[in-house]
Amino acid sequence: MTVLKDDWEFNVLGVYNYRKRGSKEALFNFIRDNHDAITGDIVEAGVYRGNTLLALGMFLKEIGSEKIVYGYDSFEGFPLEAYHEYDLPTQFEALFAEGRLSDEHYRAVVKNRKWRESLTKEAMTTDSSSTSRNFDDSNLNLINEKIEILELNNIKIVPGSFSVTFSQSANLPEKTMAVLMDCDLYESYHTVLGALWSGLSTGGMVFLDEYYSLKFPGARIATDEFRENVSARLEMAPFRPGDFERWFLIKDD
């Protein structure tokens, strides 16, 4: 395996630098501390350009783990037909009115929307809410080239729409230790959580990249709905002042 040592190497190859404190620190710490104790592989739902997928593959090699990373993505951007009313930015108003967002969270949502609309001169929509727009600039060939450069043989990419790939058991790991949810949308969260939960080992983690979001309300709504029917703890990772809150689920049984 090619070992990256300096920040610029991570930057050039577009790999999340897990050696520094960052947004997914809790996920990498969990894997490091539990890869021998908890059965199962790692799943990333929402690969985009492979930033975290590659990092997970490298990290597993470095800690001596034989686990596999499964990466799921359509590699075609957001599925327009899968947009749900809960994905509309205006759903944040409803969440706040119901007491499901903190004052600080809602103020940040409003400020983000105001600034983005001021700069773009257009109303904020699900398509335009992210700086990556609708993620249609993903490049599977480029990701595969980077996998070759890094000499990673522990990554399995499953391309296709979630409604198809997650409905076929042949596409899923037999057991899962940790899941990175980075798929933004209400229906995507519901599909992935529903498909993977039974195979998630007790004590396993689901890292919720958009549970605290200024752009995608559907992820929180879908997660809260899912939690009503399963035994799981919702926990917030430690974070520094000025950082986003980071949340995850731990499966109880």
Spatial distance between the Cα atoms of 91 and 131, rounded to a whole number of angstroms? 19
Fold topology of 7-85+136-251: Rossmann fold (3.40.50)
Cα 93 from Cα 99, distance rounded (Å):
10
Phi-psi map region of 242: left, alpha, beta (phi>0 left; psi -120 to 50 alpha): left
| 253 residues of the chain, pLDDT tens digit each | 888 989 999 999 999 999 999 999 999 999 999 999 999 999 999 999 999 999 999 999 999 999 999 999 999 887 766 689 999 999 999 999 999 999 999 999 999 999 999 998 888 877 665 555 555 667 899 999 999 999 999 999 999 999 999 999 999 999 999 999 999 999 999 999 999 999 999 999 999 999 999 999 999 999 999 999 999 999 999 888 788 899 999 999 8
Angle between helices 25-34 and 51-62 (to 10 degrees): 30
pTM, 2 dp: 0.93
Sorted by where each begins, the domain ranges of the chain are 7-85+136-251
* pLDDT tens profile 97-136: 999 999 999 999 999 999 999 998 888 877 665 555 555 6
The whole-angstrom separation of Cα 16 and Cα 99 is 34
| φ, ψ for residue 34, nearest 5 deg | -130, 5
